[in-house]
């Protein structure tokens, strides 16, 4: 056997072992998880979600991500406390659950 073919054989063996170990770890991690919990987890990751994070300046901000991962709304300001960022999220939630009126501007094209 040439050195190249030995190397390829060793590499294939390593990949096989790695794949086997990953599969075993996955099975162990799912052992105590019901299929309903797995389904809920998958659904949760597909729903829009608020994300709270700290920006480079040390201020807390929030953003609303759509199910495709794109940011559809964010805080226009940074908050000193994390709790204030959560309060901002709760304000948005309150407004979204109330009746929203669409105000259209005048189309004055003269």
* 68 domain-assigned: yes
Q: Which domain holds residue 89?
A: 46-97
Which is more confidently placed, 33 or 19? 19
Our count of domains for the chain comes to 1
* 21 domain-assigned: no
Q: 101 in the Ramachandran plot: left (φ > 0), alpha (ψ -120 to 50) or beta?
A: beta
Q: What was the pLDDT predicted at 66?
A: 86
Domain of residue 54, CATH code: 3.30.160.160
How many CA atoms within 13 Å lie on the side-chain side of 68? Answer: 2
* 36 domain-assigned: no
pLDDT tens, position by position, 57-67: 999 999 988 88
Question: How would residue 11 be classed by pLDDT, with cut points 50, 70 and 90?
Answer: low
Strand order in the sheet with 60-65: 49-54, 60-65, 71-74
Report yes or no: 50 and 59 within 8 Å, Cβ to Cβ: no
* 58 domain-assigned: yes
* 88 domain-assigned: yes
Question: How would residue 108 be classed by pLDDT, with cut points 50, 70 and 90?
Answer: low
């Amino acid at each position: 056997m040439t050195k190249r073919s030995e190397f390829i054989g060793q590499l294939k063996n390593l990949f096989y072992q790695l794949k086997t170990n990953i599969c075993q770890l996955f099975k162990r991690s799912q052992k105590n998880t019901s299929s309903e919990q797995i389904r809920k987890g998958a659904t949760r990751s597909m729903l829009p979600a608020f994300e709270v994070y700290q920006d480079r300046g040390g201020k807390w901000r929030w953003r609303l991500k759509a199910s495709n991962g794109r940011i559809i709304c964010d805080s226009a300001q940074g908050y000193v406390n994390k709790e204030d960022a959560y309060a901002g999220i709760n304000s948005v939630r309150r407004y979204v659950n109330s009746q929203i009126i669409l105000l259209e501007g005048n189309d004055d094209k003269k």
